[in-house]
Structure formats: structure tokens, C-alpha cells
């Protein structure tokens, strides 16, 4: 076993600022913004002091609802330097989901941008917290969210009742270096530092508690698999609110002195422009992102010869896409990674010198110092190579648990500290794994995990609906789409659009069923269990879908 890293996230940045002070740390070409590691660390320290001056302390939960703005990365390190927990909110969330997370996470503070795509965040926050507009900034008092004290706005023209992000730096002027150092000295690498919400099979998202130790070591080993160095420059178009952005992107970079070059909101043209302009050596993405880049009408006009590596993850990679990424994008050392939020997130990854067959047919082998086993679903016994079972993992990567959900935590992590992923897999004799299916009925649409129960629970609240079953059907572009089969209450009528309208602005757009069927009953087993796989088969046949998506 190599020695695990025991630095905190803040301590890691201090270390890199000492080792690579003049190296580019964070670059936003469109904003003309460029911080060296020394400058970036100084800025994070100033913001950390400002947070202390506001009365934020170790263990406080601070939510962030924003796309890939510079303040996101700054907060990832500034909060870590004082031991506050950064709670990441999915940018697609709507009012019901936002309220649930702010409440369940006990967040004292919400950082937010004005809007994202079709969502007016300011309007949504005012709908959730009507008292905000008339409250004194920083002194919010709302019975619905008793912990929430302040909303901090990222951007210009701060809305009523909110503080502005830029004022934080000014507030920290009176906090001495000694006080910040004392706070940092009191932190432990096993403290929770990051909380990500993952949709729950129970119908409610669960807050995955990740520690400094989890994300620093996972980020380091991810970077090692890509052979990152201080000379690399990583284009990050994947969202920071996911582990893909904030661990496979940010932490993989900072553990190696590598330059972070984020794209604020994914756009294939901007990714291509960024890679060329900044001579990026690496790029991340889910397969649909790589497809959009490769198929862009201007693709051939860009010089991408600087590219070497990166990560494709989130869903299965078609072999033709992988071949084009290697040949046409010049990313000959692109890797595939697999994991889940509960494992910080990467469990297995291919290596830069793996054959292309391994890079498309498998999700790689265990990261350094990570244990992986395949177990029999019924007995829990470890299976030999070539046999299908549940993939389990153990090591530095396993989460601390789900926030305030001890029973759920005990279901996920057994008494021997093995995390049960709920994914079916086969491992070969060399340790390379193939994901073959899922035990739980999860839908993966364009890299987003969707748990049917969550959508079902919401649709059950509609007065016309008696029963609802949600499941995934194949889709050529996104891998899977959401489908709902609904039994209506007696005498009621409803159409597809009414179902979708009920979901709009209440749950994330990607969770809204694309297909809706109204049925009289569901296929069941003799013991009365509903068979979702049969419903999926019936839908594929009826709608002429194939495993690659619509045939028409």
C-alpha cells in the first residue's frame, strides 16, 4: 500500500501554491481571468477570512446553486480552509428540490447565481423563501428553513435581501493570518467537507458526506491514471455540482499542479475554442458531450493537437465515438472511469496505455489502493472472475455516510466497510470490470442518475393519479429516457401534456417523463410484485425502440 494523503483540501492548495507558485491554476479565457497557484491560494484565503468574519464556522453547511463560475472553485477551497461543508445543488433543480435540500442539509447559507438556462433562480428562491425580499441581508428568519440565515449572490445587481459575494473579501480584512492558521490547524482530514445529493431509491435525495481524505486521495489517483503533471491543462465542461466536475476535474488538477480551464455552461463550440486557445492537454465529458463536439459543423477548423488525455464517463461509450476521440481529437490517452457519488466518486478507471478494446468494453480496473470485489446477490459470497454479481468497493474512497440517514448508510456500507454499489458487474482475471446492469431500477439519462421512486412519489401527489410506475427506455442520444405508466382514479381523464405540466418548475427538466402511457394494470409476479422490466420490454416493442434508441 502506498501512503495515503492526509492533507486537508485547504492544506493541499497551500502545498501546491508553494510548489508551483507561478503555474496557472485557474483560467477563464472568455473572462480574461487567469490566476496562478499563488494568486488563487491568496484569493481563497481572503474569502475564507471573509466567511469567518461573517460568523461561519467549522461544520456549518453552505449550499451553492451555480454553474461553473469562478466563485464555485474559490468556494470549494475557501470553505475547506475553515472546515465548513459545501453542499452542492444540481443546477437543474426547481423549487421543490431546492427547498428539500436546503432543509435536509441544515444549510445556514445559500450562494447562488441569477439564472441557468430556462430557470430564473432569483424567482425560484423568492418563491421558496417569500420573506427574503423584505429581510435585512444576512439576517434571514424563515420558519420553513430555520437554519438558513443568509443568501449570497454571485454577480452584479444584487437582488433584495441578499448579500453580494464580492463583499465577503472586504469583510475578511480584519481577520489575521494567525486566526485563519489556528482554524486550519483544528481541522482533521476525516472531517466532512463536501455534501452531494444523490437521488434516493427511497424517493428522497440523500446527502452523501465526503471528507477531505475521500476527495483528495480520489482526485490524486484519478490524476495518476491520466498521468497528469504540472504541465497539463484540463478543459472542464462537466458541472462542478457533480463529482465529475469537482473531483475528477478540480481535485485531479490541484493534486498535480495542473491548470483548470472550466467551461461555464457546456457548449460544444466553446469546448473546442477553449481547447485550441489554451492548448489544453486533457478534456472531460460524458459521451453525449464528445459526440456533440465531434459532430459540430466547425469541428475540422480547430487545432486540437495539444490534447492527450481526459476522462469519458457517465454512461457506456460507443466504440466509434472512442475511436474518433482518439483519432480526430488526438486524445490518444483518453480514459474511462466508473463510480458513484458514495465512492468520492471513482472506483475503477482505465489507464492511458490500455488497449482500445479495454477502454470501450470495460470500465477499467480498481484505482490504486482501492479494493473491488464481485459478490453473489443472494449469498454475499465473493465470486470468481467471469461471474456476474454486485460490485462492492472498500478503501479511502468510501463516503462517511448519508447525512441524517443512518439506516440508509447501514444499507449501503456493510459491517466490513464494503460499499455496495447496486450495480451488476463481471470482473475478468486481470481485474477489469464490465458493468452489466443495475440491481436498483435506476435510469441513467445523459450521465444524470434518475431514481424512478423520486418521480413516482411526486406524481402520486396529483389528485387524478391512482398509481404510477416510472422506468427507463432506450434512447439513441441520451442512453435512456424517462417513461411513466399511470393508472388513473376512477372516472378521471388526463393526457400526457397534463402530466408534464404538473412536473414543470417542480422537478428538474431531465426527470420529467418524455413518454407517458395510461394503463389499466401492470404486469405482476405471482406474489404481486410489479415487473418493471416487462413494462420496459412492452414499451420497446410498442414504440419500436431498440437498445440504441428510436429506429425511426
Summarised one tens digit per residue, pLDDT across range 242-293 is: 999 999 999 999 999 999 999 999 999 999 999 999 999 999 998 889 989 9
CA end-to-end span of the chain, whole Å? 53
Euclidean distance between CA atoms 365 and 358, whole angstroms: 10
Confidence tier at 88 by pLDDT (50, 70, 90): very high
As a whole-number percent, the residues of the chain with pLDDT over 70 amount to 96
> Do the first three CATH levels of 9-327 and 443-550 match, i.e. the same topology?
no
Mean pLDDT rounded to a whole number for the chain: 93
Q: 323-373: per-residue pLDDT in tens?
A: 999 999 999 999 999 999 999 999 999 999 999 989 888 999 999 999 999
H runs (alpha helix) in 66-142: 70-82, 95-104, 121-128
Lowest mean pLDDT among 95-104, 128-137, 340-349, 528-537: 528-537
Helix, strand, coil: what percent of the chain each, to 5?
35, 25, 40
> Which CATH fold topology does 9-327 show?
Rossmann fold (3.40.50)
Query: In this structure, are residues 450 and 442 in contact, taking their beta carbons and an 8 Å threshold?
Result: yes
pTM: 0.86
- Cα separation of 425 and 387, whole Å? 8
Query: How do beta strands 419-427 and 433-438 pair?
Result: antiparallel
- Going from N- to C-terminal start, the domains of the chain cover 9-327, 443-550
Secondary structure (DSSP) of 192-247: EEEEEEE--TTSS-EEEEEEHHHHHHHHHHHHHHTT--TT-EEEE-S-TTSHHHII
For residue 499, the surrounding DSSP H or E stretch is helix 496-503
pLDDT, residue 529, reads 58
Please report which confidence band the pLDDT of residue 200 belongs to, taking 50, 70 and 90 as the band edges: low
Beta bridge partners, 429, equal none
Residue 445 has pLDDT above 50, yes or no: yes
Q: Report pLDDT digits (tens) over 29-79.
A: 999 999 999 999 999 999 999 999 999 999 999 999 999 999 999 999 999
- What is the fold, at CATH topology level, of the domain defined by 443-550? GMP Synthetase; Chain A, domain 3 (3.30.300)
Spatial contact of 511 and 450, defined as CB atoms under 8 Å apart: yes
Length of the chain: 552
Cα–Cα distance, 366 to 330 (Å, whole number): 26
Residue from 466, 464, 530, 474 nearest 499 by CA: 464
The span from the CA of 415 to the CA of 394, in Å, is 11
Q: Is the pLDDT of residue 440 over 80?
A: no
Q: Is 318 exposed, middle or buried, given 0-12, 13-18 or 19+ CB atoms closer than 10 A?
A: middle
Residue 410: partners with Cβ closer than 8 Å, 6 or more residues away: none
Amino acid at each position: 500500500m502506498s501512503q495515503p494523503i492526509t492533507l486537508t483540501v485547504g492544506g493541499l492548495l497551500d502545498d501546491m501554491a508553494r510548489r508551483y507558485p507561478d503555474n496557472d491554476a485557474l483560467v477563464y479565457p472568455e473572462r480574461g481571468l487567469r490566476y496562478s497557484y499563488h494568486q488563487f491560494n491568496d484569493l481563497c484565503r481572503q474569502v475564507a477570512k471573509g466567511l469567518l468574519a461573517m460568523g461561519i464556522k467549522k461544520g456549518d453547511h453552505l449550499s451553492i446553486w451555480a454553474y461553473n463560475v469562478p466563485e464555485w472553485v474559490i468556494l470549494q477551497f475557501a470553505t475547506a480552509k475553515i472546515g465548513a461543508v459545501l453542499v452542492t445543488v444540481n443546477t437543474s433543480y426547481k423549487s421543490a428540490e431546492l427547498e428539500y435540500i436546503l432543509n435536509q442539509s441544515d444549510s445556514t447559507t445559500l450562494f447562488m447565481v441569477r439564472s441557468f438556462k430556462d430557470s430564473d433562480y432569483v424567482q425560484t428562491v423568492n418563491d421558496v423563501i417569500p420573506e427574503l425580499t423584505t429581510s435585512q441581508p444576512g439576517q434571514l428568519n424563515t420558519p420553513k428553513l430555520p437554519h438558513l440565515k443568509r443568501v449570497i449572490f454571485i454577480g452584479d445587481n444584487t437582488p433584495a435581501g441578499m448579500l453580494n459575494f464580492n463583499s465577503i473579501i472586504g469583510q475578511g480584512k480584519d481577520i489575521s493570518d494567525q486566526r485563519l492558521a489556528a482554524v486550519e490547524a483544528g481541522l482533521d482530514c476525516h472531517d466532512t467537507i463536501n455534501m452531494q445529493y444523490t437521488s434516493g431509491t427511497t424517493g428522497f435525495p440523500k446527502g452523501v458526506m465526503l471528507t477531505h481524505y475521500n476527495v483528495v486521495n480520489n482526485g490524486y489517483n484519478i490524476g495518476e491514471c491520466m498521468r497528469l503533471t504540472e504541465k497539463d491543462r484540463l478543459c472542464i465542461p462537466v458541472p462542478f455540482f457533480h463529482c465529475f466536475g469537482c473531483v475528477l476535474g478540480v481535485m485531479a488538477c490541484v493534486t498535480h499542479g495542473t491548470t483548470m480551464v472550466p467551461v461555464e455552461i457546456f457548449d460544444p463550440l466553446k469546448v473546442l475554442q477553449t481547447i485550441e486557445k489554451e492548448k489544453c492537454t486533457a478534456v472531460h465529458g460524458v459521451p453525449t458531450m464528445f459526440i456533440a463536439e465531434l459532430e459540430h459543423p466547425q469541428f475540422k477548423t480547430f487545432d486540437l493537437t495539444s490534447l492527450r488525455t481526459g476522462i469519458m464517463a457517465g454512461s457506456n461509450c460507443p466504440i466509434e465515438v472512442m475511436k474518433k476521440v482518439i483519432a480526430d481529437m488526438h486524445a490518444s490517452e483518453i480514459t474511462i472511469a466508473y463510480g458513484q457519488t458514495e465512492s468520492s466518486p471513482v472506483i475503477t478507471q482505465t489507464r492511458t496505455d490500455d488497449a482500445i478494446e479495454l477502454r470501450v468494453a470495460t470500465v477499467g480496473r480498481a484505482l490504486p489502493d482501492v479494493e473491488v470485489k464481485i459478490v453473489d446477490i443472494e449469498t454475499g459470497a465473493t465470486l470468481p472472475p467471469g461471474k456476474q454479481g454486485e460490485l462492492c468497493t472498500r478503501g479511502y474512497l468510501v463516503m462517511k455516510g448519508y447525512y441524517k440517514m443512518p439506516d440508509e448508510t447501514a444499507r449501503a456500507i456493510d459491517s466490513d466497510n464494503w460499499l455496495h454499489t447496486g450495480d451488476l458487474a463481471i470482473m475478468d482475471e486481470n481485474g477489469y470490470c464490465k458493468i452489466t446492469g443495475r440491481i436498483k431500477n435506476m435510469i441513467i439519462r445523459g450521465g444524470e442518475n434518475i431514481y424512478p421512486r423520486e418521480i413516482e412519489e411526486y406524481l402520486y401527489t396529483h389528485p387524478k393519479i391512482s398509481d404510477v410506475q416510472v422506468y427507463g427506455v432506450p434512447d439513441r442520444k441520451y442512453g435512456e429516457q424517462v417513461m411513466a405508466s399511470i393508472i388513473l382514479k376512477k372516472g378521471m381523464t388526463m393526457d400526457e401534456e397534463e402530466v408534464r405540466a404538473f412536473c414543470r418548475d417542480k422537478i428538474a427538466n431531465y426527470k420529467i417523463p418524455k413518454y407517458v402511457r395510461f394503463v389499466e394494470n401492470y404486469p405482476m409476479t405471482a406474489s404481486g410484485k410489479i415487473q418493471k422490466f416487462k413494462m420496459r420490454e412492452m414499451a420497446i416493442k410498442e414504440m419500436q425502440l431498440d437498445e440504441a434508441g428510436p429506429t425511426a
